[in-house]
Amino acid sequence: SRHTLAGRNLMWGGVLMGVGIASMHYTGMAAMQTSPPIQNDALLFVGSIVIAISASLTALWIAFTLRTDSVWMIYAKYAAAIIMGIAITGMHYTAMAAARFAPDTVCLTGPLVDNSWVAGTIALVTFMILSGTRILSLFDARMASETARMAQSLQKAYADLKYMVLHDSLTQLPNRL
């Protein structure tokens, strides 16, 4: 929402977003109850987090830099979204490469979890979140349009008032310097 982007704010935003992406992945991996437990390669673990943060920084920078409403900027916004997708998938695949499963690994939650209702629940929640985001986006666009209309009306009222102060009401000739 600001006119300029401080490097510190960009860095914090990228780190927060990258750590959030990594947290989602590693929380899901930690929820997998296996015997023996999953081990992670330290270098790939750190690499996955670096990928998430750096791609998030790039996507945020592009999204901030290219936020005008010209036609070709829409494609640039798509590019920022694709880079964000690369951040998520790159982090995920690198993190999965870091996961070391022993050859005799057994999932301990297999009989307890029915995957069909889990998938349906995730799909439903995702749909609800996306629908809510769309509704809020439409509301935000409407409010921005209303705000612009009110600002224009206020600007016209100011111009009319200024004209009335500086001109005679009967002759319309300037009467003040």
First-last CA distance in the chain? 39
DSSP state of 66: T
Burial class (CB in 10 A: 0-12, 13-18, 19+), 120: exposed
Chain segment 109-158, per-residue pLDDT in tens: 766 666 777 788 888 999 999 999 999 999 999 999 999 999 999 999 99
Q: Whole-number mean pLDDT of the chain? A: 87
pLDDT at 113 (0 to 100): 65
